[in-house]
Amino acid sequence: MIDIEKCRITRYPADVLARRAQLVEKIDNNIRQLVEKMTNIMLENKGIGLAGPQVGVALRIFIISLDATKEAVKVYINPTVTPTDELDSMDEGCLSVPGIHTKIRRYKKCKVTATDLNGNEFTEEAEGLYARCLQHEYDHIEGMTIADRMGSAAKIAHRKQLKKLRENHEKPAKE
């Protein structure tokens, strides 16, 4: 049972962001409530994607809404994301790694297969921002963030902010 009330944005270098998430075994009310909570958190923070580990839930689930509206929210449960094209580099940010926008290399196109909230499996081909977003969220359920993906030059350029995030993480929570 996931305690939905306790779901909060997790930030680098939280453990839950560095672990491979577990399969969702059953799509029940608890999962539906989790999706609602994730949707609210994502929209409040003007994000276009959010994964379970980013709200402290180590499950293989993420949501995407490319125009940041509630209507466009799509749910991906136990997804697989397979790249189908060459690499490209673009600026990215992440709600779990605040204060950092940096070039990340991703595949230009990918294929996603996942289960929706009704338990139906679907497959889609994605490109552009959608493909990038799928790969970013998939990284989260594999235990990786842009802090791990960024190149060594970017790590140096953003070292102060990364250090600040690590220091904030060590402080006792204020909430």
Nearer to Ni ion, 31 or 94 (CB): 94
Segment interacting with Ni ion (CB under 5 A) among 4-12, 17-25, 27-35, 90-98: 90-98
- Least Cα distance to 65 among 137, 16, 6 occurs for 137
By annotation, the residues acting in catalysis are 137
Using DSSP, state whether 7 is helix, strand or coil. Answer: coil
Can you tell me the distance from the alpha carbon of 106 to that of 94, in angstroms, rounded to the nearest whole number?
Answer: 15
Closest distance of CB 42 from Ni ion, Å: 10
Nearer to Ni ion, 78 or 145 (CB): 145
Segment interacting with Ni ion (CB under 5 A) among 76-84, 89-97, 117-125, 152-160: 89-97
Closest distance of CB 67 from Ni ion, Å: 17
Q: Applying CB under 5 A, which of residues 31, 41, 55, 94 lies at the interface with Ni ion? A: 94
64 and 48 Cβ atoms separated by less than 8 Å? yes
| CB burial of residue 124 (10 Å; 0-12, 13-18, 19+) | middle
Nearer to Ni ion, 94 or 104 (CB): 94
Contact between 81 and Ni ion by CB under 5 A: the answer reads no
The residue whose Cβ lies closest to Ni ion is 94
Nearer to Ni ion, 91 or 172 (CB): 91
Instruction: Compute CA distances 158 → 51, 61, 70, 145, whole Å.
Output: 23, 29, 32, 14
Closest distance of CB 75 from Ni ion, Å: 16
Q: Which two tokens stand for residue 79?
A: 């997804």
Q: Which residues contact 167 (CB under 8 A, 6 or more apart)?
A: none
Binding site for Ni ion (CB under 5 A): 94
